[in-house]
Chains A and B, each alone.
Chain A
């Protein structure tokens, strides 16, 4: 069974500082990986995805993530945090297979940005 572990339920950074949100997955074969962001009272918005092409994936709002098979990790980074980045971030994994394969989510990491 697939699973996702997000280290740190809450991360706090200063505005302009590096953002690093950690995600490790468990899967028998390299899966598809996604990062979603959830702003207050809103749904889940796709930030970026890894689908076995380039291991460094660039997403929206200046975020990027690197797939590291040896570490089974897919950490999310942004060089310089902005106040508008404050939100809940979810890492998700999807097994290779049929098109209707569901996503398995991590517990989420709440990012706070301090002025």
Chain B
């Protein structure tokens, strides 16, 4: 079964450094998402992306965050200047369009980001 893949599985970065988290969504999916889960807390929505532009973003997704689909397969999340509170598990998800809007989102295994 097709999967969403994320790399790296664990990223350790110094505070203030830029970090790029990478995702390869399922190939025929057109909706893409980033979520994060701070340790011990709920999964929170960051941003959704469709047709090469951001569709919706949460309050968490401030100017330090950006997303990009640089080619036909990758979907990236960049944090420009990381803060300690950015430490979390980041999940990428994708969703197909066939079958209507109620299709489920498929999640990757996540990237654990640790800011030192």
Contacts and interface: CB of A to CB of B under 8 A. Distances in A.
Q: Do A and B interact with each other, yes or no?
A: yes
B42 A100 contact: no
B45 A42 contact: no
B54 to A, nearest CB: 9
Describe A's contact surface by its main secondary structure. loop
Given A106-B42, A108-B42, A43 B31 contact: no
Given A105-B42, A108-B42, A43 B95 contact: no
Contacts of A45: 107
A100 B31 contact: yes
9 contacts: A34-B104, A41-B109, A43-B109, A43-B110, A44-B43, A99-B31, A99-B95, A108-B42, A108-B43
Interface of A: 32, 34, 36, 41-46, 49, 51-52, 90, 92, 94, 96-108
